[in-house]
């Protein structure tokens, strides 16, 4: 679809009839204006002759007053004819504008992603068409605060759309400055490459973040509860529950920001089965 292309035509029969009516009225008004101009020119000439004759005492003052009155009446008729022309012109301009609005024209080139216009339906203030400008499709991805802090505009991304084998590449277009107060999630906008397809689909997105060194634990060594994230370390032959602050999660690992150090011995498989303070020791495995 190209810019300027007609997408739909609204019923304009009433407006067209009004336009034709005003156009015809304009022709009549122009004829009236020509007649008014001729009458005024004649009355103006007659008044000039009357003034000359009155100066020579050739006509009475009453006849001069009549000439003045005819000239004033002709002038008023001429002004009225001009005003009528202006009024009809304004009505024609309005009708033309309404006729122009009867054609729904594409404001930009792109792809129609949604069509709400229906034949015979009444129009309202809602959009009749949704257009992806230049065919660019955007994906809205929910991210939490930890992830959001790492994402920058321009980063590469891959969207794995459900029921589609190949991932679709894209780039981060917009990072939100605020988060939803109820869900505590922010929506990152990602422009996808390729043709406009899969509109309305769901996808899982992987954003290529810069590499960095960090302390991480296997996901099975971390338990997440309403009170936060916990892991179990072995210290002095006893199990000690530790609350930890976690970061990114990927490939079966959980980033640990604080709570344990690299020298701590962390319980792996039996962490959920060991209570705080119970005896524990390293297995032979």
Cα 205 → chain centroid: 24
Choice between 53 and 249, residue whose per-residue pLDDT is larger: 53
The CA distance from 25 to 33, in Å, is 12
The CA distance from 235 to 165, in Å, is 48
Overall average pLDDT of the 247-260 stretch: 87
**Domain spanning 216-279 has what CATH number?**
2.40.420.20
Percent of the chain with pLDDT over 90: 23
The two structure tokens encoding residue 88: 């009809």
In the structure, what pLDDT confidence band is assigned to residue 39 with cuts at 50, 70 and 90?
very high
Give me the residue label for tokens 């072995």. 234
What are the residue ranges spanned by the domains of the chain? 10-105, 136-207, 216-279
Per-residue pLDDT tens over the stretch 152-202 = 999 998 888 887 788 888 899 899 888 888 888 889 998 888 665 667 778
The two structure tokens encoding residue 208: 């290529």
The two structure tokens encoding residue 94: 């309005």
Tell me how far CA of residue 177 lies from CA of 145, 174, 188, 211, 231, in angstroms.
11, 9, 10, 23, 32
**What average pLDDT does the chain have?**
82
pLDDT for 113 equals 64
How many C-beta atoms lie closer than 10 Å to residue 222's C-beta? 21
Burial class (CB in 10 A: 0-12, 13-18, 19+), 10: middle
Tell me how far CA of residue 158 lies from CA of 136, 151, 192, 272, 284, in angstroms.
15, 14, 8, 35, 42
pLDDT for 33 equals 93
In the structure, what pLDDT confidence band is assigned to residue 14 with cuts at 50, 70 and 90?
confident
pLDDT for 167 equals 84
Task: Say whether 7 sits in a helix, a strand or coil.
Answer: strand
**Domain spanning 136-207 has what CATH number?**
2.40.30.170
Global pTM value: 0.42
């Amino acid at each position: 679809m190209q810019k300027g292309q007609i997408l739909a035509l609204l019923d304009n029969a009433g407006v067209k009839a009004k336009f034709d009516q005003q156009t015809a009225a304009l022709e009549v008004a122009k004829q009236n204006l020509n007649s008014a101009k001729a009458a005024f020119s004649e009355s103006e000439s007659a008044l000039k002759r009357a003034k000359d004759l009155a100066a020579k005492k050739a006509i009475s003052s009453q006849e001069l007053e009549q000439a003045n009155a005819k000239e004033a009446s002709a002038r008023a008729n001429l002004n009225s004819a001009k005003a009528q022309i202006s009024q009809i012109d304004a009505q024609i301009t309005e009708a033309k504008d309404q006729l122009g609005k009867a054609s729904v024209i594409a404001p930009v080139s792109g792809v129609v992603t949604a069509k709400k216009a229906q034949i015979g339906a009444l129009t309202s203030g809602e959009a009749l068409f949704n257009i992806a400008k230049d065919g660019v499709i955007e994906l809205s991805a929910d991210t939490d605060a930890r992830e959001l802090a790492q994402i920058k505009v321009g980063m590469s991304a891959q969207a794995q759309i459900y029921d589609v084998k190949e991932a679709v590449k894209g780039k981060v277009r917009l990072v939100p400055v605020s988060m939803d107060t109820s869900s505590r999630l922010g929506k990152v906008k990602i422009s996808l490459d390729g043709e406009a397809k899969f509109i309305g689909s769901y996808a899982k997105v992987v954003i290529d973040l810069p590499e960095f060194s960090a302390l991480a634990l296997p996901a099975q060594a971390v338990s997440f509860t309403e009170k936060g994230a916990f892991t179990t370390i072995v210290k002095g032959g006893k199990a000690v529950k530790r609350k930890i602050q976690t970061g990114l999660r990927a490939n079966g690992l959980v980033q640990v920001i604080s709570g344990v150090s690299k020298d701590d011995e962390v319980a792996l498989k039996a962490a959920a089965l060991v209570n705080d303070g119970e005896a524990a020791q390293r297995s032979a495995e």
